[in-house]
Structure 1
Amino acid sequence: MEKTNIILDGKSLTIEDVDKVARRGAQVEISQEAMAKVEKARAFVFEMINSDTPVYGFNRGVGLNKDRQVVDRYYEEYNRSLILSHCVAVDPAASEEDVRAILLARLNTLLLGYTGIQPAIVTMYKDFLNHNIHPVIPERGSIGEGDITCLSHIGLAMIGEGDVYYKGFKIPAAEALEKAGLKPIVLGPKDGLAIVSSNALAAGPGAVVLKDVEDLIDMADIVYALTMEGFKGNVTPLDPSLYPIRPLPGQAVSAEGVRKYLEGSYLWLPGVSESLQDPLSLRGASQVHGSVRDALEYVKKYMDIQLNTTEDNPCVLVDEKRMIACSNYEVTTWVLGFEMLGIALSHLSRIACHRTIKLATPKFTGLSRFLTPADGRVIAYGTIQKTFTSLDTEIRHLSNPATADYFSVAGEIEDHANNSPFVVRKTAKIIDNLYYILGIEAMHAAQAIDLRKATRLGKGTKVAYEMIRSEIPFLDEDRNLSIDIKKAYNIIKSKKMLQAVKEAVNKE
C-alpha cells in the first residue's frame, strides 16, 4: 500500500497520482478549499429549488425526457429512479484497479464546485477509496459523452444496493457500508445526474494506460538496445550529432536512452559492425519509438485537462448565480489522441516483430538459423514467429479507429458519441500484446548474445540480459517455449527490468 496520502483539490491530479491510487492503494484526502467549493455550490442548488427556470437534470428530466418536470418533493424518488434506470451496462466488470481509477477521476472533477452535488456524496467517493469499497461496475455499455450506463453502478452502491468488492471480497453494498461504518446516501436534487454523467469510466483507466505507455516505450528502447548487441548492429544511426538537425523531440529522447543503455558495449569499438546499413527495423527504431513518444505527449496534455476540469452538464456557475446546459462532457479531443497512440503503437509492434525475425535469419546476423545451438538437432525458435506475428495482427486491427462508429440515440437527440471507454480498453489490449512481443524479442536477443559469445555488454543492456537469464536459461535443447514466453511477458509487464536498468544507468 502507498503510504503517502494524495491531497485532492480538483486542479492538480496527475497521471502518476492516478497510478498510485489505482495500483498501489494510495489513500486520498480532500483539501478544505475544495470542499468549501462543493458546499458553496450545494447551497446555490437549494436556492434554485423553487425557481421557475427549467434546468436539465435538476427540475427537469434527462435525455429525451428533458421536457418532464421534477417537483421538489419528488427529488429523492426521481434521483433514485435515475440511478436505477441507468444501470443497463453489461459484463465483464471493471477490475478493482480500474474502479479505483474511475472513482478518483470523478472525485477530483467534483471538487471544482461546478456540479452542485451534496458534500456527503463527495465524501463517499473518498471513503470508497480509503476503505477499499469498490463497486462492481460492468464496463460495457457506454458510448462516451458521459459514461452514464456504467457509472450508475457507483450510485447504486452509494445508496446501499448492488454489489461491491470490499477488501477483495464480493459482498452486497449494504453489508460493506455497514462494515466500514458508513451510511447509505439519501439522494437529493441533482445528485443522480452528477453521479452518472461523467467520463470517468474512460478517463480513470485511460490515465493508467498512459502511464503504461510511458513505461512501455522505455522498455522497448531497452529491448531494442539488447537486440542491437545480439545482432551486432551498426550504431551510427544513434550518433548524437544527427538529432539536433532534425529536432523531433521523441526520437531524440529514445536515441539518448539507447546510447545510455549501450554505454560500454562492444558495439562502440572501431570496425565492429560489418554492415554499412542495417534493416530499417534496427536503423530507424529510435525514430519509430520516438513517434510513440510524440503521440503520448499529445494525449497526456489533454488528459491533464480532463482530470482537472469540470465535465458537468448542467454546469453550476455559483458566482454568476446560474445553472446552464453545456457540452463540457465532450472528450473527442483526447479520444482522438488515443486512436493516434494505438496506430503509433502498431508501428512499434511491427518493427519489433521484424527485428525478431531478423535475429533468427542467418544472412543478417551470421548466426545459426532460428538461433539454434545445434543445427539439425535443435529446432529452437523455428516456430515462435507464428506467435508474435499473430499478436501483431491483433494489434493491427485494434489500432483501427473506433471513435467514429456511433448511432443517434435517446429519441435521436443524442446524435454524437466518441466510444471513449472502448477506445481506452483496446489501447490497453494493444499494450498487453506488446508485453508478449517485446518479451519474445528479448528472448531472441539474449540467445543471439550467447551464440555470439558477446561478453562486453552495455551498462543497461548487461542488467537486462542478466534479468532475462535469471528467469529464462540459454536454449540448449528444445523445450516448452510457452513457459519461456510467459516468463518473458512477466519480466516486461512487471516493469522490474525497466526499474533495474534505469537504476544501473543512472548510477554515478
Structure 2
Amino acid sequence: MPGLDVIRLGLAPLGIDEVIEVAYHGRKVEIDKESLARLDHARQLVFELAEQGHPVYGLNRGVGWNKDRRIEPGQYERFNRNLLYSHSAGVGPLASREEVRAVMLTRLNGLLQGHAGLQPEIVVRYADFLNHGIHPLLPLRGSIGAADITSISHIGLAMIGEGEVEYGGIRMAASEALELAGLSPIILGPKDGLAIVSSNALSAGTGALALGEAEKLLKLADLVYALSLEAVTGNVSPLHEALHKVRPYPGQLRSRDRIARYLKGSELWDGTLPDSLQDPLSFRDACQIHGAAEDALRYAREQLELHLTSSDDNPCLLVEERLILSNANFDPVVWILGFEMLGIALHHLSKSSCHRIIKLGDPRFTGLTRFLTPDEQKVIGFCTLQKTATSLDAEIRHLINPVSTDFYSLAGDLEDHATNAPLVVRNLREIIERIYYILAIELLHAAQAVQLRPPGFRMGEGTRQLYEALREEVPFLSEDRILTGDIDRTYRLLSSIRIKGHSISIIESKSG
C-alpha cells in the first residue's frame, strides 16, 4: 500500500494483520537493530560450542536418523548445502505470491527471536527477498506438519542461488534474480541449513491468511443472514440485547451486535409485521451458530499469533544459559487443533445457511411463490440452486474430518508424531471458499424474496447497501436464465466487500 510505513520486526509481536499487510499489500519490513545484535551474540555462541566439540544436532551431527553421524568443521558448507538439497522434496501446486510472502515473513520473525543460531546474513536475506519482491517457487505439498522441511527448503535454495523464483512477475533462475537485485548468494555455515528448513512457517504463514479470510467470512455471514431475515419478515426478538447478556459468550455477543447494526432502521424492529412466535432454528439461532465460529476463530488466532512471535527451532539456542538443547517446539498441535475446531464450527454455519436457502424457496414458510418464481406458470425460478448449495455443504462435511491424527512413524521411528498442518490449513481455506458460494446462493434468494414482497418495506442500513450492491451486479430474476453466471458474480461481489461498522464498501470489482 503506497504511503504506509514499513513494519519493524524483532521486538513487537507479529500479528495476523501484519502478515496480511505484507502478503497482500506488499508492505516492506525492517529489522530492529537490537534484534540483529541478539542474533550476533547467538551466532558467536554457536561457534564456541562447535569449537568445544559438544555434540549438537544439525551443527556437528547429522539430522533425523543421521543424528549419530559426525560433521567435521571442514564439511559445514557442504553438509548444509546437501541438507537443503535432500530436504527440497515438496510437490505442487506452487504457492501463490501472497502465500510465499506470508511464509517468508513468518520464518523471518521466528528467527528474530534469537534461538536458531544461524548467521544473521540469512535473516537479513529474508527481509531482502520481501522488500525486493523475490519470491521463491514454493511447493505447497509434502510436509507432514512436524516442521515444514520438505517445502520451505526451497526458500533456502533461492538464498544460495539455486532453484527458481518469481521476480518482477517473471519466473527465472534464483541466481539471475539475485544478480538483478544486486544480492550475492549466501555461503552456508554451521547450523544454517537446519535453521532454514526446521520450521512450521509454511503452515503458520498460510494459516494466518486463512484466519484473515475466516474473519471476513463471519462478518459477511452475519450480513447475508440479516437480509434473509428481512426477506422472510422474521422475528427479531432473538436479537434482543438483554437475551444475549444472560448467556454472554463473546462470539455470540459480537455476532448479535453486528446483525443489529446491519438491521439498524429496518422495519423489522417496528413490531408492526405479522408475529412469528418461533422462527425455524436456522433463522432463530444464527447468533449462537455464528458466535461459536467467532469463538473458535478467536482461539485459533490467539494460538497462532503466539506461534508467530515464538521460536520453533530445534535445537534451541539459549544464549543466557549458554546451552543448545534438543526439543520439540516445532510441534504445532496446539494451534492446529484450533484450526480443525474452526472448520467444524464453520460447517454448522454452512449447514444453517443451506437450511435457510431451502426455506426461502418454500411458500409454506415465506408466503411467496415456490422457488421464488416471479410467474408460477412461466418461470421455474431457483429450484435447482438448492442442489448446488447442498452439494457444496457435503464437500465441507468431508473437509472437516480431522487429519491432524493421520501420520506415520518415520526416520527410524524417531519421528512418531506429526499433525499434517499444511493440509489442515488447506482444508480450512477450502471450507471458506465453498461457504462463499453457499452464502452467494443465500444472498440471491434473499434479494429475490425482498423484491417479490409488496414495495415500501424499509430495509436496514447494512442490508440495504448489500441489496443495492447485488442489484448492480445481478438483476432480479424476471425470467429463467443461466444461473451459473449469477452465482459467480455474487460470489465475486462477496469476495470484494469490505465491512467496517455500518459501512459496506466494494474495494475491487471482481465481476464482469
User: Smaller-chain TM-score range?
Assistant: over 0.9
How far apart, in 2, do the equivalents of 1:357 and 1:16 lie?
Answer: 36
AA aligned opposite 1:483: G
Q: How far apart, in 2, do the equivalents of 1:503 and 1:136 lie?
A: 36
Matched, 1:85 2:95: no
Q: Report what 1:343 is aligned to.
A: 344
**Per-residue deviation, 1:274:** 3.2
Distance 2:173 2:127 in 1: 19
2:364 match: secondary structure = helix
Alignment of 1:46-445 (within 5 A): 46-445=47-446
Q: Is the 8 A contact 1:464 1:501 kept in 2?
A: no
The aligned residue for residue 32 of structure 1 is 33
Q: Relative to structure 1, is the Cα distance of residues 248 and 454 closer, same or farther in structure 2, using a 3 angstrom cutoff?
A: farther
Q: Counterparts of 1:447 and 1:493 in 2: how far apart (Å)?
A: 20
SS for the counterpart of 1:478 is coil
Classify 1:410/1:186 alpha carbon distance in 2 versus 1 (closer, same or farther; 3 Å). Answer: same
Q: Distance in 2 between matches of 1:398 and 1:307?
A: 25
Cα distance between partner residues in 1 of 2:480 and 2:420:
45
C-alpha contact (below 8 Å) 1:5/1:26 kept by paired residues = yes
- C-alpha distance in structure 1 between counterparts of 2:176 and 2:500, whole Å: 41
Whichever residue aligns with residue 420 of structure 2, its letter is N
Looking at structure 2, the residues matched to 106 and 55 of structure 1 have their Cα atoms a distance apart, in angstroms, of 22
Contact preservation (8 Å) 2:465, 2:504:
no
Unaligned runs of 5+ residues in structure 2 are 506-512
Residue 486 of structure 1 aligns with an amino acid whose one-letter code is: D
* Match for residue 485 of structure 2 among 479, 483, 486: 483
Aligned AA (1:171) = M
What is the Cα deviation at residue 403 of structure 1? 0.3
User: What code does the residue aligned with 1:427 have?
Assistant: L
Query: Does the 8 Å contact 2:244/2:253 carry over to 1?
Result: yes
Question: Taking structure 2 as the reference length, what is the TM-score of the superposition?
Answer: 0.97
How far is the alpha carbon of 1:503 from its aligned partner? 5.4
Secondary structure (helix, strand or coil) at the match of 2:135 reads strand
Between stretches 133-142 and 263-272, larger displacement belongs to: 263-272
Residue-by-residue CA offset, 1:137-172 (whole Å, 9 max, x unaligned): 111100011000001100111111111111222111
TM, length-normalised to structure 1: 0.97
For 2:509, the equivalent position in structure 1 comes to none
Match of 1:473 among 472, 475, 485: 475
What is the CA distance between 1:502 and its match in structure 2?
3.1
- Runs (5+) with no aligned partner, structure 1: none
CA distance in 2, matches of 1:204, 1:29: 18
* CA shift for structure 1 position 382: 1.2
- What is the rounded CA distance, in whole Å, between the counterparts of 1:381 and 1:501 in structure 2? 30
Q: Tell me, in whole angstroms, the C-alpha distance in 1 between the residues paired with 2:135 and 2:451.
A: 48
The separation in 1 between residues aligned to 2:312 and 2:260, in whole angstroms, is: 43
Deviation at 1:478, TM superposition (A): 1.0
- How far apart are the structure 2 equivalents of 1:440 and 1:4? 40
Cα gap change, 1:291 to 1:500, in 2 (>3 Å): closer
Question: 2: CA distance between counterparts of 1:462 and 1:271?
Answer: 20
Distance (Å, rounded) in 2 between the aligned partners of 1:502 and 1:57: 53
Quick one: structure 1 residues 454 and 115, their matched pair in 2 at CA, closer, same or farther if it must change by over 3 Å?
Answer: farther
Q: What SS does structure 2 have at the residue aligned with 1:170?
A: strand
Structure 1 letter corresponding to 2:380: I
CA distance in 1, matches of 2:423, 2:21: 23
Aligned counterpart, 1:446: 447
Q: Distance in 1 between matches of 2:80 and 2:87?
A: 11
- Contact 1:198 1:312 (C-alpha < 8 Å) held by counterparts: yes
Deviates further, 44-53 or 101-110: 44-53
Q: Contact 1:10 / 1:309 at 8 angstroms: preserved in 2? A: no
Distance 1:273 1:141 in 2: 58
| CA displacement at 1:52 relative to structure 2 | 2.1
Q: Output the amino acid matched with 1:14.
A: G
Deviation (angstroms), 1:499: 4.9
CA distance, structure 1, for counterparts of residue 53 and residue 133 of structure 2: 42
Q: Note the C-alpha offset of 1:501.
A: 4.8
1:49 aligned counterpart, secondary structure: helix
Distance 1:500 1:468 in 2: 19
Partner amino acid for 1:492? L
> AA paired with 2:383?
G
Conserved in 2, the CA contact under 8 Å of 1:10 and 1:108?
A: no
2: CA distance, partners of 1:178 / 1:231: 63
Q: Return structure 1 stretches of 4+ with deviation > 4 angstroms.
A: none
CA distance 1:104–1:425, shift in 2 (3 Å): same
The Cα offsets for residues 193-227 of structure 1, whole Å up to 9 and x where unpaired, read as: 00000000000010111111111111100000000
Answer whether contact 2:226 2:463 (CA < 8 A) is retained. yes
Q: CA deviation at 1:384?
A: 1.1
**What's the offset of the Cα at 1:189?**
0.4
- d(CA) in 2 for partners of 1:449, 1:349: 22
Measured on the aligned residues, the alpha-carbon RMSD in Å equals: 1.2
Structure 1 counterpart SS, 2:161: coil
Describe the SS at the equivalent of 2:92. Answer: strand
After TM superposition, give the deviation of residue 45 of structure 1 in Å. 1.1
Q: Secondary structure at the match of 1:92?
A: strand
Distance of 1:362 and 1:64 partners within structure 2: 66
Q: Which residue of 2 aligns with 1:22?
A: 23
Q: Deviations along 1:166-202, whole A, 9 cap, x unmatched?
A: 1222111111111111111100000000000000000
